[in-house]
Amino acid sequence: MECQISNIFNFKLKEMLVIKNLHASVEDKEILKGINLEVKAGEVHAIMGPNGAGKSTLSSVIAGNENFEVTEGEIVLEGEDLGDLAPEERAHKGIFMSFQYPVEIPGVSVTNFIKTAINETRKANGQEEMPANEMLKLIKEKSELLEIDRKFLSRSLNEGFSGGEKKRNEIFQMAMLDPKVAILDETDSGLDIDALRIVANGVNKLKNENNAVIVITHYQRLLDYIVPDFVHVLHDGKIVKTGGKELALELEEKGYDWVK
């Protein structure tokens, strides 16, 4: 009997990320003009829209980029307002953003970078550093998942990486950090079909009932591989239409002018 009750309770999806009436500007120019979005655990949301609609701004603002000013509204993660939290504090709470243009850091290997990232996160959450053998095991497991060669891990972060390698490295870091909400900002750009399949496959394997994924993309292509539960169309800083996965196909066919 008790068991049944808990099953019923679990069945109700947990709210992960709630965005309420979000307004944001850069240098006094308003880019986001009242975004509302609810993302529950286990869901995949796609945010589509033409260039300049505010897609990348939205991901930057969720991740806490200080170049943008939030003028109104709130971003709530598991009931907690992210408000004035610095980007690293949001990361410690489980926000991950895969960058469209990952930054090159010469002299710091992929392995050392991810070790630092994991241990800083653990430190912030009051945990001990991850033991070396555990770290190695995790690196091995996740790099295999993304078909990453071991040699690649000792190279300087993103230095001289191809477009595909950079994106794969982003998803590798996501796998290592195991975030609650992962935002994939134009992850499909610069990827050939094989790299796209590996990246999407990685994301699908990492997806579970305790986390959520927001896919930000201009094209429908990626959504063939990462199938969304909801598709939102962003236009001029607002979500103008929301639908199921079939909306993406409709947009592909009719173009963005159709929803304006």
Partner 1 sequence: MDLKEKLLSSFLAFEQKVDINAALHDVRTDALKVFENKGFPTKKEEAWKYTSLNAVLANDFNILPKNESDVEWKDVQKYFLNDVDTYKVVFINGVFSSHLSSTTHDGLDVCLMSSALTKPKYKMVIDTYFNQVANKEDSLTNLNTAYAFEGAYINIPKSTVVQKPIEILYFTTGTSSNFVQPRNLVIVGENAHVQIIERHQSLTDTAMFTNSVTEIYAAKRAIVDYYKLQNDLLTTNLVDNTYIEQKQESRVSVHTFSFGGNITRNNLNFYQKGERIDSTLKGITIIGEKQHVDHYTLVNHEEPNCESHQNYKGIYDERSTGVFNGKIYVNKIAQKTDAFQQNNNILLTDKATLNTKPQLEIFADDVKCSHGCTIGQLDESAMFYMQQRGIPKKEAKALLMYAFTDEVISSVAIPDLQLKLQKLISMKLGVNIGFDI
Instruction: Please give the residue ranges that form the binding site for partner 1 (CB under 8 A).
Output: 63-67, 86-88, 90-92, 95-97, 99, 101-103, 105-108, 112-121, 124, 129, 173, 177
- Is 48 or 118 the residue whose CB approaches partner 1 more closely? 118
Q: At a CB cut-off of 8 Å and minimum separation 6, what does 100 contact?
A: 56, 185, 186, 187, 189
Amino acid symbol at 23: H
Secondary structure letter of residue 219 according to DSSP: S
- Is 33 or 155 the residue whose CB approaches partner 1 more closely? 155
3-state secondary structure of 106: strand
CA angle centred on 95, ends 90 and 244, rounded to 5°: 140
User: How many whole angstroms separate alpha carbon 88 and alpha carbon 66?
Assistant: 12
Q: Give me the least distance between CB of 121 and partner 1, in Å please.
A: 4
Q: Give me the least distance between CB of 158 and partner 1, in Å please.
A: 9
- Is 166 or 235 the residue whose CB approaches partner 1 more closely? 166
- Is 118 or 199 the residue whose CB approaches partner 1 more closely? 118
Q: Give me the least distance between CB of 176 and partner 1, in Å please.
A: 10
Secondary structure letter of residue 40 according to DSSP: E
User: How many whole angstroms separate alpha carbon 235 and alpha carbon 221?
Assistant: 19
Q: Give me the least distance between CB of 11 and partner 1, in Å please.
A: 32
- Is 16 or 62 the residue whose CB approaches partner 1 more closely? 62
- Is 120 or 236 the residue whose CB approaches partner 1 more closely? 120
- Is 116 or 162 the residue whose CB approaches partner 1 more closely? 116
Long-range contacts of 198-201 (CB under 8 A, 24+ apart): 198/146, 198/147, 198/168, 199/146, 199/167, 199/168, 199/171, 200/225, 200/226, 201/225
Quote the longest CA-to-CA distance of the chain.
Answer: 59
Burial bucket for residue 116 (CB in 10 Å: 0-12, 13-18, 19+): exposed
Q: Give me the least distance between CB of 8 and partner 1, in Å please.
A: 36
Q: Give me the least distance between CB of 171 and partner 1, in Å please.
A: 13
